[in-house]
Amino acid sequence: MATASATTRGWLLRVCLLLTAVYAYQPLAGVKVRPVKESSPDVDIGDWLSTGKSLVVFGTYAADFNAIEYGQRLRYYWPILQKQKGLEKCALLLNCQPSAAKALVEQVDLPDDIEIWVDNTGKAGRQFGVERGWLPDNRDVNPFLKLFGMLFGLGAW
């Protein structure tokens, strides 16, 4: 009976992941980002995700610890994801200028087959539903006070 239960859980997980994958690119249809590679046209994330097994990692700005950590993990796990999970393409999206993204790629030594995109406005992340923190549009509150509040979990829901 334990085997049937584990099989059922595995099947349900796959269905949930499939539904998530089908839903994930729809809100991003029409959202364009700029590839770091010279003379590459803008990429519509929804179109890009709708073909093949794909992975997009939404990072923060290039000098942020989390973005660096994502880059390091991609460097290590990307070959494994390709081989074991059959992923065909991967992109790292950063909220910065192309020069900052190139510096991150160089420092982390990301493989050439991972696409690097930039979205300095953060539109793609907002469209995807990334939380922007505590009081993101309130310019009357000091940014350091906002950061202090976020350290205590404000805006983390």
Domain 28-128 has CATH 3.40.50.2300: no
CA distance 112 to 2: 44
Average pLDDT, the chain: 81
For 100-136, how does the pLDDT look when each residue is reduced to its tens digit (9 = 90+)?
999 999 999 999 999 999 998 888 888 887 776 777 7
Contacts of 96 (CB under 8 A, 6+ apart): 61, 62, 63, 118, 120
Contacts of 149 (CB under 8 A, 6+ apart): 134, 135, 155
The CA-based dihedral angle spanning residues 123, 125, 126, 128, taken in that order and rounded to the nearest 10 degrees: 120
Low-confidence ranges of the chain (pLDDT < 50): 1-2, 15-20
CA distance 78 to 57: 12
